[in-house]
Chains A and B, each alone.
Chain A
Amino acid sequence: MAASALETEKLCKSFGALTVADDIGFRLAPGARHALIGPNGAGKTTFVNMLTGAIPPSSGRILLGGEDITRVNQAARVRRGLGRTFQITTLFRKLPVLDNVALAIAERDGVARRMWKAASRYSEIIGEAEQLLATLGLSADARTPVQDLPYGRQRLVEIAIALGLKPTVLLLDEPAAGVPSQDSHHLLDVLAALPTEIAILIIEHDMDLVFRFASRITVLVQGQVLVEGTPQEIAADRRVRDVYLGEATHA
């Protein structure tokens, strides 16, 4: 087993004269519950996009399970076990919830290429999808089109798809964004119940969620890692308070 589930070495990104990521060294341990926080414009989204392969870094390396994936494209990274959810729900809105998840499972299993037998006859895929939906409390909505669901439940479908891929590393991009407070309890429970083998990196602004969920926190400010440590260390760190938590309590 590799020492880290996901790792970056000296990761940099510049758009012309603008540097949005500066020498980021980051380690995600296997089975981690790690959070990435930082004020707006800190470069969190850029960092995540580099991790998933949506944008190429200007320099530096990215390693997944010890393997260099810096030049590997997005879909290939997913196949190697790097899953993500999107900050803005990116689902197949007109399709039923079950189909959304089944598509992901079919890709993982290599079934998606099959052209002869009807999709609805692949009982293993459908069964697995239904089980997954059950663990997230979405069974009742299995045949409902995603666009008919309340937003909070759509965010859960995002997570369901990512889980369907059986990733080794899961990047959750602001899973609580836009979720009304009565639904965020359920979301918290779901996150707490996620399989322990998966290394999870969560990007969030909701400090409540971050402190309850994460065992390690990295603070990103202006493209650089300011500090990294346990929630207690971060909460006590004066610099972090000045830069970030001070804003949050006034928000």
Chain B
Amino acid sequence: MSGYTSNPRIRPQESLPWIIAIAAFFLLPEYLSLGARILVYILFALSLDLILGYAGIITLGHSAFFGLGAYTAGILGAKYGVTDPFLQLIAAAAAAALLGISTGAVILRTKALTLLMLTLAITSIVLEIANKASWLTGGADGLSGVQVAPVLGLFKFDLFGRTAFIYCLVALFFGWLLVRRLIYSPFGAMLTGIRENTARMHAVGAPVYWRLVLVYTLSATMAGVAGALLTQVNQFVGLNVLGLEPSGDLLVMLILGGVGRLYGAFVGPVVYLVAQDYLAKQYPEYWYFGIGVLLIVVVLFARGGILGLFDKWLQALSRQRSSARASAR
């Protein structure tokens, strides 16, 4: 999809997610807070896809950046009276970027299990800090009463989630734009190269380590913004944005949608969160069971996720059509 032979023009199908989102805004007003949550997770998933799908870094620690961003916004809004939403976002982005570059520089020299382990360790450390520093973070109770001033001074965060939805949608739009540009750029082609054959990238003179640190930091920043958005939407932040669980959930969402294909990050969270909203309430014990089975099925038979299956279906259709045409002659 990326690379020197690909076509970067925006295809008509790519406007679909935005059309659906705007339609949802008007047609499903009761579900807008769920919708805002989905949008936040799409942004979060995009950030993970950047390093997982494109650079090939397997991490279970991405929640560290998400959570740090969430808590930065929360602490500023609840404790220090910094209520301007953009200031909160910028602070969250900065904090996440700092954590990203410092941890990335340290751990990206390792690979595979060691790397995975280190990412787990980091997110566990952040969780522990958030847990213990309750004077700042509210500990296990979390921070409620996070104040967020009206966006641009005009749009207050209302109870129905209307402002929240549009706010997140706009943020997601910018995130999407940045990621899309990146993927089609030479940098994106280079990331694909690192994922496809790291040895070869070294052998063409690429300073692989520094490139990985760079993309890791970018991804962390994005995850931090997503976390901050969640806090702003809920006006609350708790420990559940940190640790293994959100990282694991995100990984499942991304795999479900399809890794390394930009729109997998859109499809996955939608399917997962909608299903969770409905099924997990009805049959909580079966929810984990179902997800587990789904995961194994996807891994064994549908590695490309939903979008992968969709592609295969399209291919099969076009083959049918061309053979029908051939036999009709």
Chain A residues proximal to chain B, CB less than 8 Å: 52, 74-76, 78-79, 84, 86, 90-96, 98-99, 102-104, 106-108, 111-122, 125-126, 129, 142-143, 161, 164-165
Contact = CB atoms under 8 A, between A and B. Distances in A.
A143 B201 CA distance: 20
5 contacts: A52-B203, A95-B193, A103-B190, A113-B211, A120-B8
A79 B196 contact: no
Interface in B169-213: 181-182, 184-190, 192-193, 196-197, 199-208, 211
A99 B4 contact: yes
Given A115-B181, A115-B185, A119-B186, A99 B204 contact: no
Interface string B231-248: 000000000000000000
Nearest to A143: B5
Interface string B278-311: 0000000000000000000000000000000000
Given A96-B5, A129-B4, A113 B186 contact: yes
B200 A92 contact: yes
A103 B7 contact: no
Given A99-B5, A107-B206, 5 more contacts: A75-B203, A84-B203, A95-B192, A111-B186, A161-B204
Interface size class of B (residues with CB under 8 A): 20 to 34
A161 B89 CA distance: 43
B205 A78 contact: yes
Contacts of A103: 4, 189-190, 193, 201, 204
Contacts of B139: none
The majority secondary structure among interface residues of chain A is helix
Nearest to A167: B205
B8 A112 contact: no
Nearest to B181: A116
Given A103-B189, A107-B206, A115-B182, A93 B197 contact: yes
A142 B190 CA distance: 18
B322 interface: no
A116 B4 CA distance: 14
Given A93-B197, A103-B190, A122 B4 contact: yes
A115 B181 CA distance: 7
Interface of B: 2-8, 181-182, 184-190, 192-193, 196-197, 199-208, 211
Contact of B187 (A52, A79, A114): A114
Given A75-B205, A75-B206, A90-B197, A112 B186 contact: yes
A142 B4 CA distance: 11
Nearest to B214: A113
Contact of B3 (A52, A93, A99): A99
Given A99-B5, A99-B189, A102-B4, A94 B205 contact: no
Contacts of A121: 8
B197 A98 contact: no
Nearest to B4: A102
Contact of B186 (A92, A114, A165): A114
A117 B6 CA distance: 13
A244 B181 CA distance: 56
A92 B199 CA distance: 10
A222 B154 CA distance: 80
B325 to A, nearest CB: 24
A111 B2 CA distance: 15
A74 B189 contact: no
B186 A74 contact: no
